[in-house]
Amino acid sequence: MACALPLYPFFENSWVELRRITVPIKDLPPAFEGYKLGLATDFHFPRRLTLDDLSANLALLAEEKPDVICIAGDLYDMRGEKDAPSLAPVLNRLSAPDGVLVTRGNHDWASPPENWAKVLDANVEVIEGIHKIVRRKGEVLCLAGIGDLWHDTIDLKSTLAGVPRSVPRILLSHNPDFAEDYTGPERLDLQLSGHLHGGQANLFGFCPYVPSKYDNKFIPGLVQGKSHLVFTSRGLTRAAGVRLNARPDVTLITLTSFG
């Protein structure tokens, strides 16, 4: 057993976890009690993840039958060549009643634009700077998305234009830092993010890879931001060859009401 311990970080790197969490949303309409969001992020294809790997990982989430699937950026890696294989065959296997929603991350911006064009060929909805209203039994929930914090212009007022304040809002944002940077008046209830890879390794609170202005704040997963809750996935990429106490993940988020 002791001989195997040095190899564990390489094993963990491919040991995908299906996380299940329940998140309370203030005044969630009764029709959305138990509403399920599937979250996957940070594929960084094709640098360390094959199409077969990705298909198997996303199947874990699809088997949970979420109401909507959210993909929070960095689908392609910045080191990807423009002739990288298309992700469309894998993305097209995903389906959910309220669709497959996608937003870009910083690597998608830095990757050759031909790669993002291949995402647009898939049966997904790009949700950047716009919102989508989901209806159940006459009641509504808002699903919104913004572009990458480092590369895009964020205008949340425009993104949520026309949404009554009484309507709960779920926001897709690749970078969790937006939850601390934003000081505006718009209501937000839950933000879904990636970007941090769980720190790649977690050694008694020390993480070697945290591209955030807020240190380890978002590493645990579900935390309270300045005005709203934030859940940050550890993503699916094989992070720098190894992971330690930071397993790659996909997540099923179930909404419940309070207040």
Domain boundaries, the chain: 5-258
pLDDT higher than threshold 90 for residue 242: no
- pLDDT at res. 1: 40
Cβ-contact 146, 178 below 8 angstroms: yes
Pairing of strands 125-126, 17-26: unpaired
**Architecture of the domain made up of 5-258:** 4-Layer Sandwich (3.60)
**Which phi and psi angles does 210 have, rounded to 5°?**
-135, 85
For the stretch 117-164, pLDDT in tens is 999 999 999 999 999 999 999 999 999 999 999 999 999 999 999 999
111, 102, 92: which is closest to 68 by C-alpha? 102
Closest of 155, 156, 176, 159 to residue 230, by C-alpha: 176
pLDDT category, 8, cuts 50, 70, 90?
low
* Position 23 confidence tier, pLDDT thresholds 50, 70, 90: very high
pLDDT band at 79; cut points 50, 70, 90: confident
Residues in CB range of 211: below 8 A, 6 or more apart: 195, 196
Cα–Cα distance measured from residue 90 to residue 189, given in angstroms and rounded to the nearest whole number: 30
pLDDT of residue 106: 96
Q: How far is CA 65 from CA 62, 96, 185, 221, in A?
A: 5, 7, 34, 22
Q: Name the 3-class secondary structure at 31.
A: helix
CB 175, CB 197: distance < 8 Å: no
Pairing type for strands 139-145 and 68-72 reads unpaired
Mean pLDDT of the chain: 93
The three-class DSSP label of residue 117 is: helix
